[in-house]
Amino acid sequence: MAEEQKEEEEVAIHGDVLETILSYVPLTHLLPACFVSKTWNAAVSSSLSRFNKPKPWLLVHTQSIRRPHATAFFAYDPRSDIWLQINQKQPPQHVSPLRSSNSTLLHVLHPSNFSFSIDPFHLTWHRVNPPAVWRLDPIVAMVGPRIVVAGGACDFEDDPLAVEIYDISARTWERTESMPATLKDSASSTWLSIAANTRTVFMMEQTSGVTHSFNPDSKTWYGPFDLRPDRSIYFSVITCVGDNLIMLGLLGDAEDVNYVKVWELNGESLEFGKEIGVMPTDLVEKLKGEGTSLNSVRVSCMGGFFYIYNPGEPGELVALEVGEEGWCRWGSLKNAAVSDRSRVAERVVLTCSDVGLGEIAKLVGSGNGISTLLKR
């Protein structure tokens, strides 16, 4: 017995060796490893901080366009390079379209209520009174502790540019200054690209680059700004990383895309700072899917991770990782949530969130399951 015990002690795995091994283990499988022992718990934490750090997850939600509008939930973990299906214990039932602002915010607007969720796995939904103005396709953005709802009003409403602010803490709506009149013909999420940081929401016409910003604290609109560093841009979208604005533009025309470029702008002055990168030609072709043109794109991001997709052909995603030192890494991945059926019978909605062991523990602890679909 003593010899066997001695042999077990001699082959024990610990230190850098254990941490290196754990760096190859998918994040979802590291959760049970934390409960093996205090030593393993410390090794997991050290491995995640030193070797293979968690990266923002892409979260894909599908919703049937037919009643009862069943939903399904998928996730891509870039650290482990795997697709997962989240088996929800109680899938949310929404009778209205599920939407996102390409951020962590998911929302559903119904005549009787406004529902939204902001946690990474959308385990908690908040259902509140609807805004006073009924809207079909509004701009919705989370700015600090507030949610701004603008435009998208029905034809019978007096003010199609109406803006309302929901204070999450006070649980109250407030009507404020309407959108600028220059946005009258494009005041909906169909025509405007939306980005928000903790202080400001930005709204850009996707085809012209004309941009306005709104500060919910001062309730003040600014602009218009012309965000066209290159006149050959025919379509562009924006998103925020920290306080700065990121713009992705399609150059050329829909039938003959010359370039897809990414720029960084100052979040205060909206001056162009630098060109981050140019999408490789083969990835531009992948974005087209089975089509011959590229009319538009969408982007969902968190931190330095960007997931770019063609809303008309969502089966292929282009991923862009930008490092703090300025380098960028391009790649592509198949959208595991998209099937032949989903292309015609389901809405596909993307969000992006920071996910760590704490978020996975909450997901599993609430009775939800996780199954691996495929390793890319």
Inform me whether the pLDDT recorded for 4 exceeds 60.
no
pLDDT, mean of residues 137-148: 95
Range 154-159 average pLDDT = 79
Higher pLDDT, 325 or 329: 329
Query: Which amino acid is located at 305 in the chain?
Result: F
Phi, psi at 110, each rounded to 5°: -130, 155
Q: Is the pLDDT of residue 157 over 60?
A: yes
Give the Cα separation of 295 and 315 in Å (integer): 16
Average pLDDT, the chain: 90
Phi–psi pair at 22, nearest 5 degrees: -65, -25
- CB hemisphere CA count around 355 (13 angstroms): 27
Q: Which among 231, 212, 232 is positioned nearest to 222, based on CA atoms?
A: 212
Q: Residue 371: what pLDDT?
A: 84
Distances (CA, A) of 44 to 41, 50, 51: 5, 10, 10
- CA 362 to CA 368: how far, in whole Å? 9
**Residue 294 vs residues 257, 285, 361: alpha-carbon distances, Å:** 7, 9, 40
Retrieve residue 201's tokens.
Answer: 């929401």
Q: Taking residues 91-116, report their average pLDDT.
A: 86
> What's the pLDDT tens digit per position in 296-306?
999 999 989 99
What are the pLDDT digits (tens) for 169-219?
999 999 999 999 999 999 999 999 999 999 999 999 999 999 999 999 999
Closest CA to 138 of 128, 153, 127: 153
CA 258 to chain centre: 26
Is residue 269's pLDDT more than 70?
A: yes
**What does the pLDDT look like over 305-319, one tens digit per residue?**
999 999 988 899 999
* 137 or 376: which leads in pLDDT: 137
Q: Which residue has the higher pLDDT, 94 or 33?
A: 33
Pairing of strands 146-150, 139-143: antiparallel
Side chain identity, residue 66: R
Integer-rounded Cα Rg, in Å, for the chain is: 22
pLDDT above 70 for 344? no
> Using CB atoms within 10 A of its CB, is residue 1 exposed (0-12), middle (13-18) or buried (19+)?
exposed
Res 370 pLDDT > 70: yes
**CA-to-CA distance for 26 and 371, rounded, in angstroms?**
12
pTM of the predicted structure, to 2 decimals:
0.90
**Among 60-64, 81-85, 216-220, 262-266, which is the least confidently predicted range?**
60-64
* pLDDT score recorded for residue 345: 58
State the pLDDT at residue 7: 47
Contact, 212 vs 225, CB < 8 A?
Answer: yes
Distance in angstroms (rounded) separating the CA atoms of residues 352 and 128: 24
Q: How far is Cα 54 from Cα 36, in angstroms, rounded to an integer? A: 21
Residues 50-65: tens digit of each pLDDT: 999 999 999 999 988 8
In the numeric block, which tokens belong to residue 342? 């989903």
The pLDDT of residue 291 is 83
Q: Is the pLDDT reported for residue 257 higher than 80? A: yes
Reply yes or no on whether the pLDDT at 67 is more than 80: no
- 225 C-beta neighbours (distance < 10 Å), count: 17
Residue 173's pLDDT is what? Answer: 97
Nearest to 195 by CA among 116, 269, 136, 140: 140
Do the beta carbons of residue 47 and residue 20 sit within 8 Å? yes
Cβ burial 318-355 (10 Å sphere, 16+ → b, else e): bbbbbeeeeeeebeebebbbbeeebeeebebbbbbbeb
| Interacting residues of 71 by C-beta distance below 8 A, sequence separation 6+ | 61, 62, 63, 64, 88, 91, 92, 93, 94, 98
Q: How confident is residue 374, by pLDDT bands cut at 50, 70 and 90?
A: low
Locus of tokens 């697709």? 83
Locate tokens 């082959």: which residue?
Answer: 11
Tokens of 245: 């604005």
| CA 131 – CA 109 distance, rounded (Å) | 9
Amino acid (one-letter) located at 13: I
Q: What would the mean pLDDT of 236-260 be, rounded to a whole number?
A: 95
Average pLDDT over every residue of 223-248: 94
